[in-house]
């Protein structure tokens, strides 16, 4: 399944269960491992798990592949690996702590020069 089609399915699945603050970040210039990350917030562990499960189910229904899911035990941060897209469903405090948006929006050259 191509990345734009997969992205639409993921966004719809997250919106179905009222995810908040959905952000799509193009990571194709940062890493060859995946093209996008999608980050969304959920109000509780129950909602993070439900959102991740809905993404899993909708992608499978559309004929897509789910590589794996991590973090369903605690529900604070659930990751769904779809190959070209990695979905992060996080509770607000965890999202604020890890600041994935800042990490992935920083141009690769700037990160390298800042590290030296």
Q: What tens digit of pLDDT does each residue of 49-107 get?
A: 999 999 999 999 999 999 999 999 999 999 999 999 999 999 999 999 999 988 887 66
Length of the chain: 116
pLDDT at 108 over 80: no
Domains and CATH numbers, the chain: 3-115 (3.30.460.10)
The residues near 101 (Cβ < 8 Å, ≥ 6 apart) are 23, 25, 39
Contact assessment for residue 27 and residue 84, using Cβ atoms and an 8 Å cutoff: no
Contact assessment for residue 51 and residue 41, using Cβ atoms and an 8 Å cutoff: no
Contact assessment for residue 85 and residue 34, using Cβ atoms and an 8 Å cutoff: yes
- Per DSSP, the three-state class of 7 is helix
- Per DSSP, the three-state class of 4 is helix
Q: Please give the model's pTM, rounded to 2 decimal places.
A: 0.89
Helix (H) or strand (E) holding 22: strand 20-26
pLDDT at 114 over 90: no
The model's pLDDT over 2-56, given as tens digits with 9 standing for 90+, comes to: 999 999 999 999 999 999 999 999 998 888 899 999 999 999 999 999 999 999 9
């Amino acid at each position: 399944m191509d990345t734009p089609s997969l992205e639409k399915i993921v966004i719809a699945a997250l919106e179905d269960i009222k995810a908040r603050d959905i952000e799509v970040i193009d990571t194709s210039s940062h890493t060859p491992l995946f093209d996008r990350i999608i980050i969304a917030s959920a109000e509780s562990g129950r909602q993070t798990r439900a959102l991740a499960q809905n993404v899993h189910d909708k992608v499978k229904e559309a004929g897509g592949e789910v590589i794996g899911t991590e973090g369903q035990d605690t529900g604070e941060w659930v990751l769904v690996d779809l190959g070209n897209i990695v979905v992060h469903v996080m509770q607000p405090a965890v999202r604020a702590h890890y600041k994935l948006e800042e990490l992935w929006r920083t141009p690769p050259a700037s990160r390298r020069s800042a590290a030296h």
